[in-house]
Structure 1
Amino acid sequence: MKKNTYLKKITVLLFIITPIIIIMGYSWTNSTVGELIRERHNPSVICPRMISQQSITPLKHTKHLLVSAYMDQRSGGFDLRIIGIFKRDSVDALYCSLCCAGLVSETTPSIILPHSDHFGFPYGTMDVLCQIPDNCDATHVTLLTAPSTATRSEQLWIPIKNKKTSNKEENKLDLTVCISTLFGTYNNVLQFAQTLEMYRLLGVNRVVIYNTSCGLELNRLLKSYSQEGFVEMVPWPIDRYLNPSRGWNFKEHGGDLHYFGQLTTLNECIYRSMERSRYVLLNDIDEIIMPYQHDNLNSMMDMLQSQHPNVKFLIENHIFPKKYFEPSRKFHLHRWSNVPGINILEHIYREDPNSTYHPYKMIVQPRLVEQTSVHQLLRNLGEQFYVPMQICRIIHVRVALLKSLQWEELNEDKRLWDFQEKLIPNVDQVLRRAGLLTED
């Protein structure tokens, strides 16, 4: 009898304890899984939390601005190059933090490479080199002011560009033109359209423009070109963060940064084009790099490249003063009268370059460039070649540089007229498409 009672008590006890054990085991298992889940979703582990969608990103706890990050396999083991605008007297050590397929890597020290051209302004272009860890599929990067990860959650991450997405070779562009900055109320619509259509006839595939601001009519034209795909517009709101200068000389013009960040945008455009374009033309919007022995720039570059491989090509700048007009006024077209800007077909007289100030512009192979200024490369992997003016020169319609010259002392140059049969209807078409040409 006692034995039966004892067995009953054990059975009841087991009946009560077993679910508890099961529940405890389930809870322990869930607790472990929960810790793993919480660990996986810990802000200090998962990345990126906050991605910058802007072309200029302030770096917290510094006076610096980040612009973009590009894969760069040429830098002696450092795989990633960040282009930024730094306060030159406040450059301290920075540490790279990479997002590797959704997980944060250990921080690593960076190498900071200032650009030697800054024209005396407080802010200048700088590169930050980061080393990508082994087995890291890096997608985003941020910079920290200390090796600790304590402030990492506060920073914005920027995407890493020029990543190889597949083994398939992408179709590369032949020629890209980089236009550094548009700002103020610049509204030279007619010359802008003529220049872009001239470049299209010469074989240029894309024009990249960094736009802070411009006039109303030019903005309409830019939108039309952007929708078509010929122009790639990069928003450039540098005036939200700094007091950019409208000139190149700090002592004369003041401000925080040279010419609305022209040096930064030219370097950014080179890296933007590095994996997708054979050649990059670095020039202003009122300049046309014009071949004089070839019908297009591709043929000219094939010839130059065969004779001078792995070089940068420097092109002479020739100014066509806008105050002197072709006498017959044959290209003074009535339908363009209400379009703001200069009609470059009416200006056929050019100055000889001034021997004391003779700026060049460049055509480069982007993979041979590390850092550039406006008229020369600062760090490059090749030699340079000055292209004779008989082969190529810049047609630059603007105010006269040599103001003492008279009309009789100028040289007649009608090279643009060789393209007028195609150029004029093409300009008409783009102006009409943008709603800027209302009569024929």
Structure 2
Amino acid sequence: SRVWGAGVGLLLFLLLCVFARPNTTMKCTNNCNSATRKWYVGTLCLCIVYGVMNIMVNIDVVRLNNVVSNDNGSVRENKLSNSSQQSKSSSITCDFYSPELEEIVFSNGLWQVPLNSSAYLYSAYMDIRDRKKPVIRVIGMAEQSGTLEPFYCQIWYDLEEPSDVTEATIEEMWLEWDVKGNQPYYRPYLFSCPLSVPFEELKSLPTHVSLTGEPCELASSLLPVSQAGLGTYVKNASRGDFAVCVKGMDFEQDMSVRMIEWIELNRILGADHFFIYVYSVHPNVMRVLRYYESLRILSVIVLNLPGKQPNFPPSRTKFLKRNVWQKRRNELIPYNDCLYRSLYRYKYILPIDIDEVPVPVNHYTWREMFEDIASTTPRMAQKYAGFSIQNAYFFDEVNLAQDNSIPAHFHMLQTVYRSSNFSKPGYSIKSFVNTTATKTVFNHYPIMLLYPHMKENTILPTSLAQMNHYKSKCPAVFYPDCKDNYLKYIVHDTITWRYMDQLVPKVNKIIYNLGIKLFSKANKTVI
């Protein structure tokens, strides 16, 4: 429009020059004197020069308005198809291409950092559970205590084509249950990037996403958008029932035999797959994990901490022990990453630790338990996104005598004395989380749901299920309560023995396959 206006201005100026010429007519005859001819030609030249300069200046203004600069001084032209002042699902088109590998800013190898922000991005997933409003979910953290700055999502369907841009919705994945919640922690966030059209109208699925502070800013992140299991989900193919999620493991002890027993017991109960996140573990434990990974029973996901948090294993271990509330926030990254990894493949995820096993009281497997819930209380499955189980504490210090009929290396089968009191409702519970209804998950239960008519969780009665929680002794963090309410009241509980005939040969077979040598005493292992 600026160039068109300049052309009109030039035409008007030429007409003005012609009609304003003194003592001349529109046509110059042979009687025109030399002075008059020179004046006329000179005036026309000046008009033309002025008009051309006006056009060039306006073209430069247009170009300058369409240039985006980054901190390194590089520039790229872009064209906007729509105003940036639109709803978050409306699309802007930026006429430049995806960032090159050398332009991506990494933190500690696994996290990507948008320019001029405190955010660290971990993973991205395609979410089409609402077909009319598909979104890309980006899981990340940010180091601050206040409101996070706005972000825009550059959505790439083809890295060789311009991106679409929408504004991200930003939600902190946390419940304010810590007394010092206003401190500048690294906080977990879910960035939701809406697509501009319904799922059925997409010509192709997005392959990558970048987060930026301005709509057409040069991106320094480029996350691949996972679509694992989406194809079978769209076809309404059957899904697995249960995926077990284990937060970042960080220990030096050789727990390899206990790990095998824990995996095999959960498999008997109904676990279809395990997603194990690892900071640092004993080499023998990693060997066990890689073995199960080779069988496609388990996935090992290497994890570290973003930003300035320590990642040298001994320093990281101390840091996580001394900073409990930061540790809890860090745990939400693997738990929510596991939720979205499982989205289209499993009906439920089960975020637990390797010293916890949810055991049905009146049923043999988790599936049988949920089938019973669905048949006896059908509205329950439609009302709640999480089914929570209370802890029954099994302490090593009250299980001193071993049963000689059970192999000594079976820690859970040997541990048959527990607290008669269960953990208080809502305290230290763990939950089966419905992947269809849950948007974000907390350490213990869902915290954000897709559907407003549903509730976060319900606590299953202890007559239906119990969470066997194996501890060496009362934890220091709640020792007085543990001593007075759990350690003092002990009962004999052999609920795991019903699985003994299946469990013992399965575990011994894996031990044999891996060539693990066992000590005859306690549960020590050595390879």
**TM-score category (smaller protein):** 0.7 to 0.9
Map 1:64-83 to 2 at 5 A: 64-73=119-128, 77=133, 79-83=135-139
Q: Which residue of 2 aligns with 1:92?
A: 149
Q: Which residue of 1 aligns with 2:483?
A: 403
Letter in 1 for 2:360: P
Q: Which residue of 2 aligns with 1:343?
A: 411
- Which residue of 358, 362, 381 maps to 1:309? 381
Q: 1:55 to 1:392 in 2, by over 3 A?
A: farther
Q: Distance in 2 between matches of 1:315 and 1:355?
A: 10
Map 1:340-419 to 2 at 5 A: 343-351=411-419, 352-355=421-424, 358-380=427-449, 381=451, 382-383=454-455, 384-401=457-474, 402-403=482-483, 409-419=489-499
Post-superposition Cα deviations, 1:110-160, rounded to whole Å, max 9, x if no partner, equal 1111123374361111011112234463111010122233x22x4333334
Does structure 1 residue 185 correspond to structure 2 residue 258? no
Q: Distance in 1 between matches of 2:504 and 2:192?
A: 47
Shift of 1:260: 7.6
Q: Distance in 2 between matches of 1:333 and 1:241?
A: 46
> Higher mean Cα deviation, 354-363 or 385-394?
354-363
Letter in 2 for 1:82: V
Equivalent position SS for 1:367:
coil
> Higher mean Cα deviation, 185-194 or 124-133?
185-194
Q: 1:253 to 1:179 in 2, by over 3 A?
A: same
Map 1:50-61 to 2 at 5 A: 50=101, 56-61=111-116
Whether contact under 8 Å (2:429, 2:444) holds in the other structure is yes
Post-superposition Cα deviations, 1:180-233, rounded to whole Å, max 9, x if no partner, equal 120132432222211111011112110111111101211111111111111111
Letter in 2 for 1:64: A
Whether contact under 8 Å (1:181, 1:260) holds in the other structure is no
Q: 1:328 to 1:213 in 2, by over 3 A?
A: closer
Whether contact under 8 Å (1:68, 1:84) holds in the other structure is yes
> Higher mean Cα deviation, 161-170 or 68-77?
161-170
Whether contact under 8 Å (2:187, 2:329) holds in the other structure is no
In the superposition, the TM-score normalised over structure 2's length comes to 0.67
Identity of aligned residues (%): 20
> Higher mean Cα deviation, 206-215 or 121-130?
121-130
Map 1:27-426 to 2 at 5 A: 45-47=96-98, 49-50=100-101, 56-73=111-128, 77=133, 79-89=135-145, 91-102=148-159, 103-117=161-175, 119=178, 120=181, 122-134=185-197, 135=202, 137=204, 138-149=206-217, 151-152=218-219, 154-162=220-228, 164-165=230-231, 168-238=235-305, 242-243=309-310, 253-254=322-323, 257-259=326-328, 261-306=330-375, 307=377, 308-310=380-382, 311=384, 312-325=386-399, 327-330=401-404, 333=407, 336=409, 343-351=411-419, 352-355=421-424, 358-380=427-449, 381=451, 382-383=454-455, 384-401=457-474, 402-403=482-483, 409-426=489-506
Which structure is larger by alpha-carbon Rg, 1 or 2?
2
Comparing both chains, which one has the higher relative contact order based on Cα–Cα distances under 8 Å and sequence gaps of 6 or more? 1
Letter in 2 for 1:85: M
> Higher mean Cα deviation, 191-200 or 119-128?
119-128
Q: Distance in 2 between matches of 1:260 and 1:109?
A: 25
Post-superposition Cα deviations, 1:146-176, rounded to whole Å, max 9, x if no partner, equal 2233x22x43333343573475444421111
Whether contact under 8 Å (1:432, 1:438) holds in the other structure is no
Letter in 2 for 1:395: N
After superposition, the CA RMSD in angstroms is 3.4
Whether contact under 8 Å (2:242, 2:346) holds in the other structure is yes
Shift of 1:257: 3.1
Q: Distance in 2 between matches of 1:255 and 1:193?
A: 28
Q: 1:105 to 1:259 in 2, by over 3 A?
A: same
Shift of 1:77: 3.2
Q: Distance in 2 between matches of 1:219 and 1:260?
A: 25
Post-superposition Cα deviations, 1:235-255, rounded to whole Å, max 9, x if no partner, equal 11227862487699x9x9238
Letter in 1 for 2:145: D
Count matched residues.
391
In structure 1, stretches of 5+ residues that fail to align are 1-38, 337-341
Letter in 2 for 1:317: N
Q: Distance in 1 between matches of 2:117 and 2:519?
A: 54
Shift of 1:388: 1.1
Q: Distance in 2 between matches of 1:125 and 1:329?
A: 46
Map 1:21-32 to 2 at 5 A: none
